[in-house]
Every structure is written in structure tokens, then in C-alpha cells.
């Protein structure tokens, strides 16, 4: 060891500096489990670098099957510690079923404790990933845990993804999955009066849209770090949180997931981020009152610096005319549930809304919860103040986060209380 040359010492120091630089990402002071969070952010950035490199050298197309496979392997490895998904479970029977019309794949997790029952409640889960990425595979750890800890049958839906399958396909696939289970409920031993739906991020959007369609046929909706609107990108959570996770989950360029979903092409991405995609006329319309933060944003969730500000928005700028494909889809409540009027929101199922304090889309969930409450819907809103957008997926493995465990715990309790 004494013979270690100055070159190796330099090398080790250099590697140390590079690793430190790579892992050092700005994080809020009160963020919990900082080192795990740094590793998670670095892992996601590494996927981003690898993806961009493979795209540049012509080996990969964004949102191709290979790209999606790569994302699934990354996410599975980061959320479980293994690159593959285990097919067996001591506590569960796991099998895939398919809808009749479009052969939509669903993974059914049946707790062994429920196998003797004939009428079992069911929880449909719609995974996140911006309508464009992820699958029931990369969400296996979360959905499995939900089934194991709640004793409720969980059905994870592998809806088709955008941009190849824009709206309404992903939403219709979720509806078709529910319809299939309802029509074969005897054979599956499901109680059709006790259906819960839920999802995170884009999956939370799908759960809310499914609830807007099926109303009281659904008993409970779980809206976890959901995305609900593309009307304004100047919410307090956008302003406060864009500096954290800015290369990964809080990257404003994630609006590409919206343009994928609504099939609008990518030429307006920068305009969206700057709120130019809405015309002054639209900014002065009733729709803007649905996302008016002066009205719907409880100041207890807002960071100190913005607390005493008037949150009203400027209305005197933007395109003269809102581009047609936006106007139509941006205002469609089945795409952007925050665009639903009060009437549409009145007879919705009870909602559990969970948001993360350091998520750029935190305010979408908070405002939707407020609007549901205003329309007379029973809601519970839980804001994990020091958490970030996809923290809830880290339920096990070396990067398991305690906030993910708390989230599971919250959902399981709620299922037991209300389903």
C-alpha cells in the first residue's frame, strides 16, 4: 500500500471529486434522507444522459419500445434493488388477465387472505410516467406492496401509451379494464359496489378522469401527486420548486408528456412554459377562474416568500388566438380535470388527494381538492411537505424512502376506512 503512487492518489481524489459533483444537486434544507434522494436524482439523470447519448448515436428513438424497456429496467432497479420483477409472492397470487376487445393487460394481485371470500373489494391502479413511459412492471413494487399491506385485490392496468396512442386511448383502456372486471365479477369474485381507483402523476389524472366518467359507480378515488391542468405554468409550486430536481422530475420540459397525450406536436413547448399558449381572451375567461390561486390555493401550503403576494395572473399577453388543438383539449375536463365546472364535480366519489411539497405540480392536486370540497365531495388532502414528485415509488430496496412507506400506510388506512 505504501507503494501507492502519486498518480493513483490523484486518480482517487479526482474520481471522488467527480462523484461528489455528480451527486451534488440542490435540495431544500428540510428534505429528509438527503443522501438517498441525491442518489435517486443522480440515477434518474444517468438514465437521461444514457438516453440522450443513444438517441444522438442513432441507437434509440424516444418513446420507442427499447426506450421504454430501458426506463423500466432503471426504475425497477432503483425501486427494488433488482433489475427484474419477481413473479412469486408468499402473500399473494399474481396473475395477468386481459380485456376482450383490445386485449388490455391487467396484473391482478390477490392477497391469499382474500381467497376464500366471494365478494371482494378491488383497487384499480393506474401507473405514472406522463402517459408515455413506465408500465405495470416498473410499478410492481408499489402495487404489490399495496395489495400485501391492505389485503385488498389490486389490479394494475397496462394502458397503452402516448405519443403512439394519444388521448382518448389511455383513458379508454382504463375504462375498458374496469368494464371487463365488472362484467366478469362473478368469476373473479369481485364486489362491484366496492371499486376504488387510483394512480400517481399521469395515473392520478386517469383516476380522476375515470371518476368523472363513472361517478358513483366508483366508491373511492386516490389522486397521488396528480397532474390536472395545462392552463397555467405560473402556479406557486412551479415558481418555488423548479429549482429542485430541475433535470429530472421537476424539469419544465416534461410538458412534452402533455403534447404527447393530446397529440399536438412539440412546437409549442416553450410557449406553454411561458404561458403564451393561452390567449388574453382565454386568460380572462371562466376557465381561468377554475385555476385561480387567489381562490383555490390555501396559503398554508405556499412558501414564505410568496405567501403575502397577490396570486392573480397577468391576462394581457399570449398568442392572439389559442392554437386550436390546445384550446379544444386543454379545456376538456376528461383530459384536464381542473377544467371541469362545479356542476360536473358535484357527484364524484370520495377522494384521497396526496401531494408532495417540492413537486412542481403540487398545486394541481391542492386546487382540485379545494374545488371538490367546494362542490360538496368528501375529500382528504395530505401534503407531504418535504417530499418530491416520485418519492412514493421508492417502497423497497436500498433507496427505500420513509415517505413512501408513509404514503402506502395512508392509502391502506383509507382503503380500510372507506372501501
Ligand X SMILES: *[C@@H]1O[C@H](CO)[C@@H](O)[C@H](O)[C@H]1NC(C)=O
Q: Which of 199, 218, 212, 274 is nearest to 242 (CA)?
A: 274
**From the CB of 313, what's the least distance to ligand X, in Å?**
4
Parallel/antiparallel/unpaired status of strands 190-200 and 220-224:
parallel
Q: Which residues bind ligand X (CB under 6 A)?
A: 234, 236, 239, 294, 306, 309-314
DSSP one-letter string for 81-121: SSSS----BTTEEEEEEE-SSS--EEEEEEEGGGTT-SSEE
**From the CB of 356, what's the least distance to ligand X, in Å?**
19
Q: Which is nearer to ligand X, 187 or 286 (CB)?
A: 286
**From the CB of 54, what's the least distance to ligand X, in Å?**
37
Q: Which is nearer to ligand X, 69 or 317 (CB)?
A: 317
Q: What is the DSSP letter of 200?
A: E
Cβ atoms within 10 Å of 90's Cβ, excluding its own: 6
Q: Which is nearer to ligand X, 153 or 311 (CB)?
A: 311
Q: Which is nearer to ligand X, 20 or 284 (CB)?
A: 284
**From the CB of 264, what's the least distance to ligand X, in Å?**
22
CA distances from 319 to 283, 311, 324 (A): 11, 22, 11
**From the CB of 235, what's the least distance to ligand X, in Å?**
8
**From the CB of 323, what's the least distance to ligand X, in Å?**
19
220-224: strand order across its sheet = 92-98, 105-111, 153-158, 120-126, 190-200, 220-224, 350-356, 379-384
CB distance 205 to 227 below 8 Å: yes
Q: Which is nearer to ligand X, 234 or 341 (CB)?
A: 234
CA distances from 303 to 219, 226, 251, 297 (A): 34, 20, 19, 12
C-alpha cell recorded at residue 156:
394494475
Q: Which is nearer to ligand X, 276 or 385 (CB)?
A: 276
Q: How many helices (H) and strands (E) does the chain have?
A: 18, 8
Amino acid at each position: 500500500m505504501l507503494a501507492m503512487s502519486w498518480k493513483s492518489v490523484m486518480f482517487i481524489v479526482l474520481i471522488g471529486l467527480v462523484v461528489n459533483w455528480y451527486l451534488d444537486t440542490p435540495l431544500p434544507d428540510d428534505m429528509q434522507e438527503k443522501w438517498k434522494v441525491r442518489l435517486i436524482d443522480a440515477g434518474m439523470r444517468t438514465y437521461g444522459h444514457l438516453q440522450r447519448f443513444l438517441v444522438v448515436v442513432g441507437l434509440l428513438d424516444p418513446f420507442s419500445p427499447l426506450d421504454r424497456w430501458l426506463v423500466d429496467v432503471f426504475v425497477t432497479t432503483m425501486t427494488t434493488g433488482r433489475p427484474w420483477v419477481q413473479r412469486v409472492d408468499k402473500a399473494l397470487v399474481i396473475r395477468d388477465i386481459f380485456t376482450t376487445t383490445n386485449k388490455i393487460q391487467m396484473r391482478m394481485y390477490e392477497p391469499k387472505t382474500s381467497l376464500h371470500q366471494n365478494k371482494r373489494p378491488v383497487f384499480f391502479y393506474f401507473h405514472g410516467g406522463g402517459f408515455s413511459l413506465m408500465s405495470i412492471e416498473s410499478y410492481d413494487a408499489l402495487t404489490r406492496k399495496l395489495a400485501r399491506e391492505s389485503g385488498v385485490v389490486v389490479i394494475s392496468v397496462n394502458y397503452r401509451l402516448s405519443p403512439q396512442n394519444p388521448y382518448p386511448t389511455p383513458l379508454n383502456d382504463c375504462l375498458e379494464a374496469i368494464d371487463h372486471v365488472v362484467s366478469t365479477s362473478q368469476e373473479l369474485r369481485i364486489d362491484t359496489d366496492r371499486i376504488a381507483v387510483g394512480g400517481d402523476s399521469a395515473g392520478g389524472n386517469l383516476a380522476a378522469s375515470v371518476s368523472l366518467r363513472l361517478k358513483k359507480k366508483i366508491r373511492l378515488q386516490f389522486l397521488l401527486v396528480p397532474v390536472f391542468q395545462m392552463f397555467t405554468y405560473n402556479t406557486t409550486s412551479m415558481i418555488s420548486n423548479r429549482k429542485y430536481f430541475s433535470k429530472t422530475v421537476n424539469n419544465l420540459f416534461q410538458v412534452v408528456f402533455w403534447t404527447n397525450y393530446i397529440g399536438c406536436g412539440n412546437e409549442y413547448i416553450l410557449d406553454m412554459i411561458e404561458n403564451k399558449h393561452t390567449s388574453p381572451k382565454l386568460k380572462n375567461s371562466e376557465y381561468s377562474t377554475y385555476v385561480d390561486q387567489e381562490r383555490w390555493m390555501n396559503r398554508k401550503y405556499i412558501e414564505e416568500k410568496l405567501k403575502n403576494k397577490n396570486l392573480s395572473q397577468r391576462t394581457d399577453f399570449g398568442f392572439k388566438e389559442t392554437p386550436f388543438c390546445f384550446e379544444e383539449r386543454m379545456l376538456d375536463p376528461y383530459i384536464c380535470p381542473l377544467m371541469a365546472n362545479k356542476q360536473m364535480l358535484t357527484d364524484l366519489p370520495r377522494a384521497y388527494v396526496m401531494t408532495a411539497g417540492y413537486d412542481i405540480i403540487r398545486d394541481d392536486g391542492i386546487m382540485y381538492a379545494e374545488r371538490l370540497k367546494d362542490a360538496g365531495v368528501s375529500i382528504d388532502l395530505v401534503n407531504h411537505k418535504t417530499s418530491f414528485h416520485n418519492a412514493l415509488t421508492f417502497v423497497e430496496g436500498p433507496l427505500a424512502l420513509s415517505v413512501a412507506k408513509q404514503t402506502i400506510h395512508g392509502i391502506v388506512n383509507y382503503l380500510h376506512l372507506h372501501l
